[in-house]
Amino acid sequence: MGADVIVGAQFGDEGKGKIVDTLVHRNNYEIVVRYNGGANAGHTVIFDGKTFKLHLVPSGIFKHGTICILGTGTVIDPVALVKEIADLEAAGVDVSGFRISNRAHLILPWHMILDKARECERDARAAESKSATTAIGTTGRGIGPCYETKAARIGIRMGDLKDDVVTTFLAKLDSMYRHFLHDLHLGEITLKRFNLPKLPEPDAVFRDILIAKNIGRFITDTDELTRAAWRSGKKILLEGAQATHLDIECGTYPFVSSSHATSAGACVGSGLPPTAIENVFAVAKAYTTRVGNGPFLTEQETEIGNLLRDRGHEFGTTTGRPRRCGWFDADLVRRACEINGAQKLIVTKLDVLTGLDEILLSTGCDAMGHPVYERFKGWDKLLTAVRVWNDLPHEAQKYLSRIEELSGARLAGVAIGPSREQIIWLD
């Protein structure tokens, strides 16, 4: 039996957490692997009247008996992870099936300070030159700088937390500290310019990390664990963070994340071979949103954009920042389905469009770079109680059928509300 993959088909925030949670219960996956990114993700899961916002722990954690893995391709803030685990346990969630790759890299305070300093520097340069900012709009969680130290081969991995030789760990911390202080010139004067704290000494960072030592019980060789599960025929779901168009290779560079968010990245970040992948589910909202800077063909800086933001509660789970909103970009989703080899498409937040007189869908752009729209009649019927396709308004069916046609993937599900039960399955 192969592994299935969940990927975002737009710019993130498509509702992947809800879909993972729902699919784990529906298809009885035994292993869920989060394969990329860090605490910049924000996967919201709602059930039994409770709302859980997961930044690191895979969304399959709510199914008892499921093994949930933070894979090799992730980068982890150990202090944030300790808090997230504690919050789950306090809410009565069983975390005994949680596992962390010994190869995943640690995010340290230095990564976060560098992340913020670079964004401030980009804004400052733009102000001085009176030009548009080149700031990426990162979450400031140190994700990109952590991947940098990983590539520079001076990173510290989760397996190092289990090292009983304190001097070895301190030597690694000291090496990284010198990298930030000297190679990247993050001295006190530079940081004061942006009102940022100076780099904490290695001993202070070590004391902070000590509080995370108790997560050592979760750390193991998850690559081998996942391959063994695949060889034995267990059902595996690979959970992506961010989205195709934020992928470091395939996204709208340089306005991208720092990890491999596509189905190809699922193999890199989980330890599974490409031959293990069976189904790829692409998840897209019924409209488009984006956090941070970067191109956005169908953005509506109008009353419609504000309406979508308010109705859809489009504020970042991780940062709280308002999301940029606009009409559905079919070509964006088509390219994502093609890149990922997605056979199945799940559309979320269709209910947000209820009550609009007219709904627009972009099929591409003209010679001037402007979006080319198709127009669809809206519907007034509330969708939150709908559970079968035939109960959807004809106008909604027509809109979804056109999305399916243009995406090149088969429509497999439609979410019409935030809870686990509010989804229409078509297969």
Task: Give the C-alpha separation, 3 to 153, whole Å.
Answer: 30
pLDDT in tens, 13-58: 999 989 999 999 999 999 999 999 988 766 677 766 677 788 889 8
Report how far residue 254's alpha carbon sits from residue 246's, in angstroms, rounded to the nearest whole number.
9
Range with the lowest mean pLDDT among 122-126, 267-271, 352-356, 404-408?
122-126
Is 32 strand, coil or helix?
A: strand
Q: List C-alpha distances in Å: 73 to 20, 36, 69, 146, 326.
A: 18, 5, 11, 12, 31
Q: What is d(CA 209, CA 336) in angstroms, rounded to the nearest whole number?
A: 38
**Residues 370-406 pLDDT 10s:** 999 999 999 999 999 999 999 999 999 999 999 999 9
Instruction: Compute the C-alpha angle 19/60/292, nearest 5°.
Output: 55
Across the chain, mean pLDDT equals 91
Interval 398-422 mean pLDDT: 96
Q: Which domains does the chain have, with CATH numbers?
A: 3-102+221-425 (3.40.440.10), 105-218 (1.10.300.10)
With vertex at residue 237, the alpha carbon angle to CA 274 and CA 13, rounded to the nearest 5 degrees, is 105
Bridge partners of 220, per DSSP, are 101
Known catalytic residues? 13, 43
Cis link prior to 254 (omega < 30° from 0)?
yes
* Confidence grade of residue 195 (pLDDT, cut at 50, 70, 90): confident
